[in-house]
Structure 1
Amino acid sequence: MKVKPSALFPLLRSDTQGQLLAALELSDRGETATDLARLVGTSLPTATRELGRLADAELIAVESVGRRAVYRPNRHHPLSDAVRQIALFTYGPHPVVARELATVPGIAEAAIFGSWAARRAGEAGPPPGDIDVLVVGDPDRDALYDALSRAEAALRREVNATVLAPDAWAAVDDPFVSTLRARPSVDLAVDTRGTG
């Protein structure tokens, strides 16, 4: 089966490769292939194959810990800083924004929409400049803006939120909501109604 190159950054072999690089760049402790496969939503054989390619290129380091292989970014590679920037710019928005929004009370749903989501879905176009986030619920506004600021610092780009009440998001006759629903989006799987 021919692997389709990444629409977010065509120099990457695949979306899976980009997601794996971003997950490793965001990990503080290193990750196993099993953990990485779960984090990026792919099969273990696919994760293992892509990790092998990255290790062969010496972009990531592999360490044996007992019977397990633990993967980390190779900070000694001459392109380490560039790889980190590429991984976070292209595939970092999903895990970074999800992590930061998980700290905000009152969110029922959240998703990335706009140009980043369109590229992630494979639509051709210029690189996305900012990250557009839909937040459904009644979030604590101070906590939300703090979370967005942390995401912006990590991603080095603007992160904008559109906040809608659940009844507004459920509206079937609202043109803005209809447009959002018709376009690509990436679910952030955030539900913090019970947080706080």
Structure 2
Amino acid sequence: MQVRSRLLPLLRSPLIGELLAWLFLHPETSSSVVELARRFKVSQSTISREVSHLAAAGLVREERRGRLRLVGADLNNPLARPLTELLALTYGPAAVLADLLSGIGGVDEAYIYGSWAARYTGTAGPAPRDVDVLVVGDADDDDLADAARSAERRLGREVNVHRVSAAAWRSADDDPFLASVRSRPSYPILEPGDRS
């Protein structure tokens, strides 16, 4: 049974939101079905089926290069601009933060937690007003602050980044903040091994 999106209830599943956000918030690039399946950790057939639905609706464009199927946002669709704005407010944090944080040295792992992660996982509640991010590693705080400000400009909402060392994250100590983060819903932006 598919879970309806709580971030954008118009969508029938969170995967559709993630897929559309990735494509519309990266309009200058085309992604292969294989890349998208890997990114969203679903089968190629699932992504292929969703892309076919979105292409039939005129929301995405497709291009074939041999056996490679490339997909991108169709910016000529009159819905492109308002849809991009809506996606930035709902599913945008995952797409935008993945790009920004993957370019910063010392980020071992990163997770969205708090109200955005709760809505993503299906917990009812009001729309998130901000985005809370936990970064694990020894990244420079100034680089993380710059990434947060850049994300805020693209997402139109406050982004709060909290950094912890890898040792603290893996520790069994009773840090109340980390215990709270671990006990509640979270969304992985970067997981161990994502950069390999």
The two structures share one fold, judged by TM-score above 0.5: yes
The secondary structure found in structure 2 opposite 1:128 is: coil
Partner in structure 2 of residue 17 of structure 1: 16
The secondary structure found in structure 1 opposite 2:110 is: strand
- Which piece of structure 1 moves more, 25-34 or 150-159? 25-34
RMSD: 2.1
- Which piece of structure 1 moves more, 86-95 or 180-189? 86-95
C-alpha distance in structure 1 between counterparts of 2:48 and 2:126, whole Å: 31
Matched residue type, 2:179: S
Q: Does the 8 A contact of 1:110 with 1:187 survive in 2? A: yes
Judging changes above 3 Å, is the alpha-carbon distance between structure 1 residues 67 and 187 closer, same or farther for their aligned structure 2 residues?
A: closer
TM-score calculated relative to the size of structure 1: 0.87
Q: Does the 8 A contact of 1:98 with 1:190 survive in 2? A: no
State the identity %.
43
The answer to whether 1:115 aligns with 2:115 is: yes
C-alpha distance in structure 2 between counterparts of 1:31 and 1:62, whole Å: 10
Q: Does the 8 A contact of 2:108 with 2:190 survive in 1? A: no
Partner in structure 2 of residue 176 of structure 1: 177
Q: Does the 8 A contact of 1:133 with 1:160 survive in 2? A: yes
How far is the alpha carbon of 1:190 from its aligned partner? 5.5
The secondary structure found in structure 2 opposite 1:6 is: coil
How far is the alpha carbon of 1:124 from its aligned partner? 1.2
The secondary structure found in structure 2 opposite 1:52 is: helix
Q: Does the 8 A contact of 2:106 with 2:140 survive in 1? A: yes
C-alpha distance in structure 2 between counterparts of 1:32 and 1:138, whole Å: 33
- Could you list the runs of 4 or more consecutive aligned residues of structure 1 that deviate by over 4 angstroms after TM superposition? none
Q: Which runs of 5+ in 1 are unaligned?
A: 192-196
Judging changes above 3 Å, is the alpha-carbon distance between structure 1 residues 190 and 146 closer, same or farther for their aligned structure 2 residues?
A: farther
C-alpha distance in structure 1 between counterparts of 2:166 and 2:45, whole Å: 40
